[in-house]
Structure formats: structure tokens, C-alpha cells
Amino acid sequence: MAGRPDLKARVRVVEIGYEYTTNMVELLSVYRTLGRAGVPIWNFGPEGDADEARFYKLPGNEMLPDTKEFWKKVPRVTLTADEKLRLLRRARDLGEERERILAVNKDLPAVSLGLYRYTEEKGIRCWHKTVLAELRKLEGGKEEVVAGSGAAPNTNAVVRP
């Protein structure tokens, strides 16, 4: 690649994509475990999907029947308090690493910071905010949740617009 900056740039884009993908594979796995253990992360467990149904005001503020049936067939995960806290912290760290990768490489075509920010603004896939809210609950801090963050509306959360 000596003397070929175009090839070096292409390889760098692939490296960034690999770094991001490696991070996301672990992060999604942690979300899956937490969601099946009862953390209300949208799309990863029945509590999260129930929260999402309330957020989007589905009929009766409930999950669709097919979604309820799906979650009845998926095995639950049991975590000790220490395991849950460890996984929430790992999810927080991986989520922050994800944001770092996006921010550092925002001008390259490898990843899209704009798309990530759009999902945050619209309350789509608000997984990281849910993890942070759950951590605050377990670590004894006051919970402050942004509307559409995945926190159920009937919690003790202070919701700010």
C-alpha cells in the first residue's frame, strides 16, 4: 500500500467497520441477556416490548398478540444482583465505546453518527438510555429519564421533555 493513500483509506474504513461491528456484537448480546432477565430494553424482552407498546400507544397500551406469544416461548434468564450490575456496567461501557467510534469517525463513510443521533432524537432503539436508567436505580442515584427512553411511564422516574 506504500504510495497508495487511496488503498490505505479504504483499509481504514474496513477497520473502523470491523471495530464497530465487534463492539455491537457484544453489546447486542449483553442487551439480549439483560432483556431476558427483565430489564425493559425494547426488542430484547417482554418488559421492554410492553414498555414500547405503551410508548407508541398501541391498542390497550399492550403488546400485539403475536409478540406476547413469542415471548412466552423464549426462555427467561436469571441473574444475581451482582451479575445484573456487572452486565449493565458492561452495556454502559460498550454503549459509550459505540458513541466514541461514531463520533471519531463521523466524517468517514464507515459508520453514521447522524443516523444514531436521529434514532436518539426520535426515541427509536433507546437501549443505551434504558441501561443508564437501570444503572442509576441499582446504584442508588436519582433516575432522570428522557421521554421515549424506554423507561416505563409508571415508574418513579422524573421525566423531562
Is residue 161 pLDDT above 60, yes or no? no
Choose the weakest-confidence range: 42-51, 63-72, 116-125, 139-148.
139-148
Reported pTM = 0.81
- Over residues 120-130, mean pLDDT: 90
**What residue ranges do the domains of the chain occupy?**
5-160
DSSP-assigned letters across all residues of the chain = -TT-HHHHHHHHHHHHHHHHHHHHHHHHHHHHHHHHTT---TTSSHHHHHHHHHHTT-GGG---HHHHHHHHHSPP----HHHHHHHHHHHHHHHHHHHHHHHHTTTSTTS-HHHHHHHHHHTSS-HHHHHHHHHHHHTTPPPEEETTSS--TTSS-EEE-
pLDDT at 141: 67
